[in-house]
Structure 1
Amino acid sequence: MRQFTAVVNPTAGGAGSAAALLAVARLLREAGAGLRTEYSRSLDHARDLAREAGERGDVVLAVGGDGMAGGIGGALSGTGAVLGLVPAGRGNDFARALGLPHDPEPLARILLENEPRLVDTIEVSSAVHDRTAVLGSVYAGVDALANRHANRSTVLKGSASYYAGGLRAVTTWRAARYTVTVDGEEHRFTGYTVVAANSGYYGSGRVIAPGARVDDGLLDVVMIEDAPRRLFFTLMNELKTGAHVHRPQVRILRGREIRIAADRDVPYGADGEVDAVLPVTARVLPGALRVLC
């Protein structure tokens, strides 16, 4: 029987985080599994707790949103430890890409019975991140600014906070000149954002890269060029279905190593966390993480 250590972000989703874990924890224990619960003080602390649990041979449960999943999954990348997700944040985009249910009973069955699946991770390198691994995507531009606004929102939650943050970011955005190098080939354009996507989803369910797969050894590079603001708002709505990819302002490439630079201090984020500016390099690590899904 599997032994679990749940690493909990006590602030993700408010009381919902604790409730999500309690419902799953009861089912795991009723099945005879062992479960230890650790509450993190910070994302760095969560990474340390995850590494310690992985070294003991426990399945590490990331309880929270994409920041928690990315931080813990990144810490376990390349270690052989097994990750499980209990989605309890605002976005839960990597859990969505894996097809994980929110209902505790089917989620508990997956955690108890399914064999681990190998998925890719992303190694992020910059002045701030020294070869840090994340799970979902690295994005640089208006979306990173929107995410920063959403993270700081104290009134709106979930998708509403992302949408409001997006509106605020777009109305103040000044197009940046990007230089994007994909596997050594340089591409230049002026626009809104560049996304190096392992998962197809970001920003609380928006389908930024419909063709992205978490186990294909490649990153989908989505570049959104400059457009009138009215058109960009339309494009934002099309992210709900992935229809934006048919716009001439959207270009998608694929590669293993992507370097993103710009002509000014453009913010970038990774898995919901925004704390740095370009340049940044994202490199796929094929099959680096074992996940229950």
Structure 2
Amino acid sequence: MKAAREARSAAVVINAGSRRGAASTELAVDAMRRAGVPVRSVHPVKSGTELFQTLRRVVADGHDLVVVGGGDGTMTSAAGLLAGTDIMLGVLPLGTANDFARTLEIPGGLTEACAVIADGKVVDVDLGWANGEPFLNVASVGLSVGVTEALSPRLKRRIGSLAYGIATMQAYARHKPFRARLEFPEGDHEPMELEDVLQVAVGNGRHYGGGNIVSPMAGIDDHTLDIYAILAAPLREHVKIARLLKDGSFIEHDRVYHLATRRVRLVTEPPLSVNLDGEIAAVTPADFSVQRNAVHVIVPQSSNSASFEGPSRH
């Protein structure tokens, strides 16, 4: 199935707890039905547990299109359940960062996103896995975990993406460097021992953190993981690195290591929490892998972010 218009039955699941979710359900459903999307069931949810249970239920109900409204964490939950199936994923970006939608060039406006679901094309995207937990954009340890912990839902609702800057400053002030070891089960790189690390990230997608780029060559359908490690340095050097995050050129800084692989094991001292698309969902040591062509996603006809190759099983 390569065209969204071929869908026979659609379920809509919207995270009412996301930044714009509560006010969007009725508007989105009306817009999609007017555009010809065969919406058969609608499910507003308010918690992560309810979201997961509802997604499992609609997947089992036999729909060939599941439209999900929420932020990046919501999209990752959906992708983990849809991976390896023939079900299409429609994206309504209702969160704060919406990096998955940004990577796929899906518009942020609700009406425009609904139009994409009605008239878009279907592409395949890869899905990253960390200790059996999925991620679409980036998995990371170190500073980013502190940022996530400082990002309260109230702050995100009040000031949107500006909350990331405030949370980053708070996390940086509290951060303690750590040791990391990177091991490569496929033997494509020698093991790496790193001291005084600020952050290690494993990227499946292209965008993260409200528009930052993992690396200039990163893509969500390239079947590889982009890994970078930022070492501790004087504040002025981290400011330089931060200014280069938006175009990915920070990987050229001499306090940054970057490489690409399909599988990696990360061991840290001390053991650390792992941030998966804004959710703390694993702990090191962590094994990372990529499932190619895992999820079929509807994107704009004009999007060049990914292509359609056919299903892959994990």
Provide the TM-score with structure 1 as the length reference.
0.90
Letter in 2 for 1:137: V
Compute the RMSD of aligned alpha carbons. 2.0
CA distance, structure 2, for counterparts of residue 262 and residue 153 of structure 1: 32
**Which residue pairs with 2:310 in the alignment?**
none
**Which residue pairs with 1:128 in the alignment?**
none
2:161 is equivalent to residue 159 of structure 1: yes
2:200 is equivalent to residue 187 of structure 1: no
2:236 is equivalent to residue 230 of structure 1: yes
In the TM superposition, residue 103 of structure 1 has moved relative to its aligned partner by 2.8
- Please say if residues 77 and 133 of structure 1, whose CA atoms lie closer than 8 Å, have aligned partners that are also in contact: no
2:25 is equivalent to residue 27 of structure 1: no
In the TM superposition, residue 27 of structure 1 has moved relative to its aligned partner by 2.2
**Identical pairs, percent:** 25
- Please say if residues 215 and 249 of structure 2, whose CA atoms lie closer than 8 Å, have aligned partners that are also in contact: no
CA gap 1:95/1:24 in 2 versus in 1, 3 angstroms? same
- Worse-superposed segment, 26-35 or 56-65: 26-35
Unaligned runs of 5+ in 1: 126-130
2:150 is equivalent to residue 146 of structure 1: no
CA distance, structure 1, for counterparts of residue 153 and residue 52 of structure 2: 22
Letter in 2 for 1:246: E
CA distance, structure 2, for counterparts of residue 167 and residue 153 of structure 1: 17
**Which residue pairs with 2:84 in the alignment?**
78
In the TM superposition, residue 264 of structure 1 has moved relative to its aligned partner by 0.6
**Which residue pairs with 2:58 in the alignment?**
53
**Which residue pairs with 1:42 in the alignment?**
47
**Which residue pairs with 1:136 in the alignment?**
137
Provide the TM-score with structure 2 as the length reference.
0.84
In the TM superposition, residue 41 of structure 1 has moved relative to its aligned partner by 4.0
- Please say if residues 183 and 191 of structure 2, whose CA atoms lie closer than 8 Å, have aligned partners that are also in contact: yes
- Please say if residues 120 and 289 of structure 1, whose CA atoms lie closer than 8 Å, have aligned partners that are also in contact: yes
CA distance, structure 1, for counterparts of residue 52 and residue 88 of structure 2: 14
Aligned residues: 286
Unaligned runs of 5+ in 2: 300-314
In the TM superposition, residue 54 of structure 1 has moved relative to its aligned partner by 2.7
Aligned counterpart for 1:178 among listed residues 174, 177, 180: 180
Letter in 1 for 2:141: A
In the TM superposition, residue 123 of structure 1 has moved relative to its aligned partner by 1.7
Where do 1:1-293 residues align within 5 Å? 2=7, 3-13=9-19, 16-35=20-39, 36-55=41-60, 56-125=62-131, 131-151=132-152, 154=155, 157-182=159-184, 183-184=186-187, 185-190=190-195, 191-293=197-299
Query: 3-state SS of the aligned residue for 1:17?
Result: coil
